[in-house]
Every structure is written in structure tokens, then in C-alpha cells.
Amino acid sequence: MPKNIALITGATSGIGQAISTQFAAAGIDLILTGRRAERLKDTQEKLIANYGIEVQTLCFDIRQQQACEQAINGLPAEWKAIRYLINNAGLASGLGKLHEGQLSDWEQMIDTNVKGLLYISRLVIPLLIEKQQGHIVNISSIAGKEVYANGNVYCASKFAVDALNRGMRIELAESNIRVTSINPGAVNTEFSLVRFHGDAQRAEKVYEGFDPLMAQDIADAVYYAISRPAHVNINEMIIMPTAQPVASIIHRK
Ligand code: NDP
Ligand code: 8X3
């Protein structure tokens, strides 16, 4: 019987995977989502074996509203007592001028980062309200605080996450639900590989010549936020590599 449950979207890689391991180590039972079934299964097996927690996996595309509904509504009753919702699934697709942009990139970012986050939140928040407790952590970005050259639509999608984060906090305080946004700068994950449509050489260059953040740095911050006493809400955190003082400047050796 699961007790202390977290639902983490985008748990197949990077930040979501690191949060999953950090939470598992703290004895939190997990609902993990993503599109890559094999990775979900591997992660589930490892976390159960290493930490003795319970893990459910939900394999679906967060852009598909019906798939979100089926996944969340189809959870066994005891798994609906979700305490932590970590809205992490997201991506950048492309990096270039708006007037030269690919519509398919824009749609993928808006559908995943904004609409997907909304679909999941709409389904899970009523479950938190029912229990009059819970904590939502929205993984936004420094791109949701500062606009940088060629970031246009990705930045817009993360500014939307920032607005949704603030809106949720205002609306949910009366239900004793905490809401936190985490806004990282460059984190070395599959993010750039995805942004550059699988161009591994270009992706590697993003993290060359300086020490980027690691996914674990962000997992630490998320765990810090959720492990504060119940009367303490961390509204937001901006976390940057030391060599990246603002979004558009990276000091490389
Ligand atoms: P990764 O590419 O390593 O991980 C992204 C995760 O999102 C994967 O688990 C992926 O799962 C999931 N995901 C993407 N699209 C979908 C979809 N349509 N349906 C379901 N799941 C999806 O990148 P990060 O770990 O770096 O990114 C995690 C979050 O952190 C994102 O919201 C990103 O914007 C944000 N962020 C990242 C930064 C960075 O520099 N890395 C900095 C600031 C914020 P799957 O492919 O299996 O579906
Ligand atoms: C990802 C970090 O600086 O590439 O959100 O926008 S950045």
C-alpha cells in the first residue's frame, strides 16, 4: 500500500530521473511518467530494488489530453492519494530567430511545456484539494525569467510556466497546498540533444569549457523545497552554474 506518493512527469531522463532517485532514497513512493517505456521499466526496477519503495509507471505523451486523462483517472484508488506533483516534463526544440522558426518546434514546446503541464495539473490538483494538503513543484527555467537571443518560443513557454506557478500558489494556499517553481540555468542532461534534434556534437558544445549544473543539483533543490516544515513555502528558486551569471553569458575556459 503506497503511503507518501509523488507523481513526477518526465522521469525517463535528466532532472526528472534525478528527482525520482532522490525521492526514492527518502522513502517516497513514486508514479513516474514519460514516453519511453523501456526506460520507465528500468527505472522502476532499479528504484524498487535499491530503495524498497513502490513505483507505478505511466507511459504516455503529455501532449495528448485524452492520454493524460486515461493515465491519471486510471490509477488504482490507493495511488490517487498523491502528495507531491512534480511538473518536470518539457523541452526546447530549436534555437533560432522567430521569423525563421519551424512551426513544428513551436507546437511541440507549447504543447508539452504549457498544455501538457496544464492537463496534468487539472487532473491532479483536485486530488490534492480533496486531501487539503500537497505540494506542486513546477520545473520552469531561467528562460522563464530572462529572454535570451533565439530562445523566443521556449522562453515564452517558460514565462507561461512562471505565470501558472504564481497563479496556482494564489489559488491553492486556501487548500493548504504549497507551490514552488525551480528555475535552473544550463543543466547537463539530454536537453540540448533534444533541442538540436539529435545533433550530439552541437549538444556537447553547449556544456564545454565550464562546469554546468548537474541534474542532481536540481533534485537537491526540489527535495529541499518539499522537505521544509508544513508552514514554509519556497515560492521560487533560481539556480545557475557559477560560470553563467545570467542566461545569455557563459564564461568558458
Ligand atoms: P531531458 O531531455 O533529459 O528530460 C526531459 C524529460 O521530459 C524526459 O523524461 C522526457 O521523457 C520528458 N518529456 C518530453 N516530452 C514529453 C512528452 N511529450 N510527453 C511526456 N514526457 C515528455 O531534459 P531535462 O531533464 O533537462 O528537462 C527537464 C525539465 O527541466 C524541462 O521542463 C526543461 O525545460 C527544464 N529545464 C532544463 C534545463 C537544462 O539546461 N537541462 C534548464 C532549465 C530548465 P520521454 O522522452 O521519455 O517522453
Ligand atoms: C534551459 C536553460 O539557458 O538553455 O531551460 O534556457 S537555457
135 falls within a domain: yes
d(CA 169, CA 180): 8
113 falls within a domain: yes
Identify the band that residue 1 occupies on the pLDDT scale cut at 50, 70 and 90: confident
Segment (H or E) for 57: strand 55-59
Identify the band that residue 220 occupies on the pLDDT scale cut at 50, 70 and 90: very high
To the question of pTM greater than 0.95 for the whole model, the response is: yes
Shortest CA distance to 249 belongs to which of 149, 166, 161?
Answer: 149
200 falls within a domain: no
User: 225-248 as b/e, with b when 16 or more CB fall inside 10 Å?
Assistant: bbeeeeeeebebbeebbebbeebe
User: 99-109 as b/e, with b when 16 or more CB fall inside 10 Å?
Assistant: eebeeebbebb
233 falls within a domain: yes
- Enter the C-alpha cell of residue 146: 530572462
- Atom 8 of ligand 1, residue of closest alpha carbon: 10
244 falls within a domain: no
Average pLDDT, the chain: 98
Per-residue pLDDT, 59: 98
197 falls within a domain: no
Identify the band that residue 3 occupies on the pLDDT scale cut at 50, 70 and 90: confident
Identify the band that residue 2 occupies on the pLDDT scale cut at 50, 70 and 90: confident
Number of domains in the chain: 1
Shortest CA distance to 115 belongs to which of 148, 161, 56, 149?
Answer: 161
Which residue numbers are catalytic?
154
Q: Measured from the CB, is residue 112 less than 6 Å from ligand 1?
A: yes
User: Which burial class, exposed, middle or buried, applies to 195 when counting CB atoms under 10 A from its CB (0-12, 13-18, 19+)?
Assistant: buried
- Any idea what the CATH number is for the domain that residue 147 is in? 3.40.50.720
Atom of ligand 1 nearest to the CA of 189: 3
In the reported structure, the alpha carbon of residue 228 is separated from the centroid of ligand 1 by a whole-number distance in angstroms of 26
Task: Identify the domain containing residue 35 by its residue range.
Answer: 5-185+214-239
Q: Measured from the CB, is residue 32 less than 6 Å from ligand 1?
A: no
204 falls within a domain: no
Phi, psi of 107 (to 5 degrees): -65, -40
Give per-residue pLDDT as tens, 65-121: 999 999 999 999 999 999 999 999 999 999 999 999 999 999 999 999 999 999 999
In the reported structure, the alpha carbon of residue 25 is separated from the centroid of ligand 2 by a whole-number distance in angstroms of 28
36 falls within a domain: yes
Whether 91 contacts 109, CB under 8 Å = yes
Average pLDDT value for residue range 202-231 = 98
